[in-house]
Structure 1
Amino acid sequence: MKLMSWNVRGLGKPRTVGHLHQKLSDINPCIVFLIETKLSSARMAKVRKRCGYHNGIDVDAYGRSGGLSMGWKNSCMVSLRSYSARHIDIIISDDSDGFHWRCTGFYGAPEV
């Protein structure tokens, strides 16, 4: 299973969305965590779905900063635990061996 995390530094331009789509096509991660989307959750959901991640959670940017998105493919068994403006926390299940693991994506300075 592949997981990708990327500080995209804004997805407001079509060219940047195109780069994201290409990178996701090349790497083909099951789960993707995007930081600093700088988009509303509604707009980010459209971008995420256009990239092939129909399941996920999107957190609004605040002003001209922030914004998070965690997307996963249909083949991944994911359940959302919690989220805020600074994190998204999920549980990933693997039916083949009954293993569950936690994945938390953070946004912010390490000193906070």
Structure 2
Amino acid sequence: MSARQHLPANSPTATPAGISPAEPAPAPDERGAAKVVAEGVPTAVLPDPSRDDGRRPIAWIHTVAPGRGTTPTVRSWCSCGRDLFAAGERRALALIKDHDRHRAQCPLLAEGKEAA
């Protein structure tokens, strides 16, 4: 490794002769137009990803069914307060059917269907 000499932190950086630091660099085609966008910056206006459309999940189900010889599990949640869990194939299938039935009868989901 070679030791480099560093300028003190408070000293201004040197500007090469004939170049003003306030002027834009000439474009590669020599017309003198400055680049509008840096490389890699998208020029198209994209939709705001954080924009909220007002939709919220109300009832959802999480099913884990790993490989053969393991126990499947199911969990059913709803904003109305429902929070059920089942383990084992027979109980998991019963909870999935019950979750579908709940989605058809839950008052929170019925409000959303009427509004739509």
TM over 0.5: no
Q: What is the TM-score of this pair, normalised by structure 2?
A: 0.25
Q: What is the TM-score of this pair, normalised by structure 1?
A: 0.26
Answer with 1 or 2: which has the greater Rg. 2
